[in-house]
Amino acid sequence: MMRVLRGRTRSGELPFVTDRAFGYLLLLVHGTGSKGSESWAFGPYVRILSITGKQYNPCYIDLPDRSLGDAQVTAKYVVAAIKLLAPRSTTKKVAVIGHSQGAGLNIPWALQFWPSTQALVSSFIALAVNFHGTGRSKLLCGAAVSYCGPSVTQQTTGSRYLAAQNSPAMGSARSALVPTTSIFTRYDDVIQPEGPTNAQATSFLLGASNFALQDAQVCGPGHAASHITMLTDSAAFGLAKAALENPTMPAFDQSYCFQIRENPAGRSAGFGSLLSGGMSDRMAISRSRFGEIGAEPALKSYVCKRGFATQCAN
């Protein structure tokens, strides 16, 4: 039976779902316009990881307003989830997997500005992540829409948020703060650029293990995967599973290029539900009323106090 555990931050309630209280706990963080259940509940990270290997106990979080609001606020929910889950884990640490904004903005911000969380995270796995932003983010709002959520502007290339997160100051998330694996597709229809080399990809992170699914040592250029299907792609899952087992040096089994070994029925477990979820995600982004395009939220005062920016709110 699924059980709902709840914690609180200053910003309000932190809901997430777990099926057991203990074990090897895994926190799943969704992307822009989505919810935890839409991104994860019917995919392999919940359905398969919970019954194979170490039998991870996956927990997914619902970030406020479908993660369309200020990412500085939603990151605090990730902080609270890490601090809530880690003591309940067999290892006293939690593994964290994020998709898109969840991996590119929320998790790195949590690790950077709440450094006490770093000792509580065994590994961080990023799927289709925009560590350095994307030039396509506002296209999701639609040509006829004159507004986007604050988080959309924050993950746009050149934002103040990303400048602070990638600051040259010591302790920033411009390089891996915990054992990190970044998994991405060169054919991403939302996050770009993703090449032509790994070092030029927005998903590339210094100090991390970086894998493009189309790399020769992974599946090769013929492997098709989009931004949404990275949540169910067999090769991405195989790499993530390898990173959970060995966070500093994941060893990929290329049989995952063709199917999820634990689910031989196909390459994409739960794809149908995620496809419909992805469509509703885009609609949610298009209906956002948070603010005008380009109106990025001011950086919180703590960002400047820590030396990661020079212009912040009072």
Average pLDDT over all residues of the chain: 84
What's the pLDDT at 129? 96
Answer positive or negative: Cα dihedral of 19, 274, 253, 85: negative
Most confident of 23-32, 204-213, 247-256: 204-213
Determine the pLDDT at residue 162.
Answer: 97
CATH number of 20-306: 3.40.50.1820
pLDDT digits (tens, 9 = 90+) for 283-311: 455 455 554 555 789 999 999 999 999 99
* Structural domain spans, the chain: 20-306
Per the listing, tokens 């604050």 go with 150
Query: Is pLDDT above 50 for 276?
Result: no
Backbone angles phi, psi at 210, to 5 degrees: -110, 125
Q: How confident is the model at residue 2 (pLDDT cuts 50, 70, 90)?
A: very low
Contact of 107 with 163, CB cutoff 8 Å: no
* pLDDT tens, position by position, 259-273: 998 875 555 555 444
Q: What is the pTM of this model?
A: 0.88
- What gap in Å lies between CA 195 and CA 161, rounded to an integer? 23
Whole-number pLDDT of residue 261: 85
- Once rounded to an integer, what is the mean pLDDT over residues 276-285? 49
Rounded to whole angstroms, how far apart are CA atoms 5 and 16?
A: 6
